[in-house]
Amino acid sequence: MSRNAESTAFRSALEVIRAVEPRVADAIGAELTDQRESLKLIASENYASPATLLAMGNWFSDKYAEGTVGRRFYAGCQNVDTVEALAAEHARELFGAAHAYVQPHSGIDANLVAFWAVLADRVESPALKKAQVRQVNDLTEADWFALRRELGNQRMLGMSLDAGGHLTHGFRPNISGKMFDQRSYGTDPETGLIDYDRVAEAAREFKPLILVGGYSAYPRKVNFRILREIADSVGATFMVDMAHFAGLVAGKVFTGDFDPVPHAHIVTTTTHKSLRGPRGGMVLCQPELADQVDRGCPMVLGGPLPHVMAAKAVALAEARRPDFADYASRIVDNSQALAEGLLSRGAKLVTGGTDNHLVLIDVSGYGLTGRQAEQALLDSGIVTNRNSVPQDPNGAWYTSGIRIGTPALTTRGLGTAEMDQTAELIHTVLTQTTAGANADGTPSKAKYTVDPALADKVARQATDLLTPFPLYPAIDLA
């Protein structure tokens, strides 16, 4: 696509929107400006290509397509079949997967599809056997009671939230924590690293139906071969949520023991984050689970989003290009340079560094909570998110950590030299921010003070740092 074509496409789209609701058009334009001027360090965000973004704004949005390719509950889905089949083909080839299901709307939807596919495949009960051979309407209330009890009493073992796990891995506020009897494995209190012997011990004691690998805030590689061996030793299904690091798998930065696809029975992911696609989810699995996974709609999903599946096909095609491997490698180079820059300035990092796309700063060393640090950095043009650290005394709301990541800045073209400058800006803000107090004089976990002049200066420096690396340079909305 030519530079002129990209500008024309987005400018024309905003003109059409403005004619109906100008405030929406203004908000879209403002978001582009904000993203261009801010240091985006949220580990779960990225910048999708213009082609991916444009693939979502079309007539596929108007189409219902429950079912799967060639087996729809609505007529006229031949074009949806084309884009869904393309997206699944690209996913299989990119990740070396036996089967790919590209309908999930989000990461949690992908995980729900995986959970129910495993339950339906693995649970042995008279009620479930009846459900498989009889019409659902023929089941008695006693059948349903037995089935609910059997499904609801299964066990899941996943990484604890403060160690870097995710809410969807069995925690009570999430539906996964209500579906399963859940137990967590943590990390070594001294190193912050996964202790595989302790995971094996927990698995032997707990005997889970599902062992979950993967993370949202663990800055190291995970050995999926060992976790699969642990799962096999207790007869568990091994599931990996690679939402955060899917781009590193696609780009062949994580291979061998660190690539989950050859080792897991079922793998879930989002298609944004390091994969740099549209917001959505995906499930990869071994052949024996394919039929159950393909029942995701209507099992737990509503109607598929054909316009997003079209965008997934585009993004996955982009990820199959040779330059994506270079991009994935640079993500890790930048992450490690950012970690080194912070360490050299005295910051405390969980595990002392990183092997992947994210860095987790323990901001208690600055006398701050994660919430205070997050807001002070935002005031200064640096977009991050607060995150728990292992054994976090401030809990999951205020936290003691800041999670930062390099996928987005790497997309813009920043390199290791700019990561050191970014570390300097972060350190400057955190050292010049002080915790506030409540009205009664007690320490506040939310209030903070940072000199507005300093915040403005850092924000200008952040913008200057980004100037040589324009975001969507071909797009001019003026």
CA distances in angstroms from 38 to 206, 376, 382, 412, 462, listed in the order given: 46, 14, 6, 12, 7
Residue pair 271/279 in contact (Cβ under 8 Å)? The answer is: yes
Q: Which of 237, 270, 422, 433 is catalytic?
A: 270
Q: Which of 64, 181, 225, 434 is catalytic?
A: 64
Q: Kindly state the helix (H) or strand (E) to which residue 293 belongs, with its residue range.
A: helix 287-293
Give yes or no: 89 in active site: no
> Which stretches within 355-435 are classed as H helix?
370-379, 395-398, 407-412, 416-431
Q: Catalytic one among 273, 276, 312, 371?
A: 273
Q: How many other C-beta atoms lie within 10 A of the C-beta of residue 343?
A: 15
The per-residue DSSP string of 383-402 comes to: E-EEE--TT-TTHHHH-SEE
The total number of residues shown for the chain amounts to: 478
With a CB cutoff of 8 Å and minimum separation 6, the contacts of 50 are 1, 6, 9, 10, 472, 474, 475
Q: How many CB atoms lie within 10 A of CB 288?
A: 12
Instruction: Determine which one of 279, 295, 348, 447 is catalytic.
Output: 279
φ/ψ of residue 76, rounded to 5: 75, 30
215 catalytic per annotation: no
Q: How far apart are CA 18 and CA 21, in angstroms?
A: 5
371 is catalytic: no
Sheet of strand 401-405: strand arrangement: 358-362, 401-405, 385-387
Distance from C-alpha of 43 to C-alpha of 408, rounded to nearest angstrom: 8
Catalytic residue (one of 66, 121, 229, 257): 66
Q: 3-state DSSP call for residue 256?
A: helix
The yes-or-no answer on residue 66 being catalytic is: yes
Catalytic: which of 84, 241, 362, 418?
241
279 is catalytic: yes
User: What whole-number distance in Å separates Cα of residue 174 and Cα of residue 290?
Assistant: 25
Q: CB under 8 Å to 164, separation ≥6 — which residues?
A: 187, 215, 216, 217, 218, 219, 360
Sequential DSSP letters for 40-97: E--TT-----HHHHHHTSSGGGG----EETTEESSS--HHHHHHHHHHHHHHHHHHT-
What whole-number distance in Å separates Cα of residue 401 and Cα of residue 360?
7
Question: What tokens appear for 8 in the block?
Answer: 């024309």
**Angstrom distance (rounded) from CA 90 to CA 246:** 14
Examine the residue annotation and report whether 457 is marked as an active-site residue of this protein.
no
Residues forming the active site: 64, 66, 241, 270, 273, 279
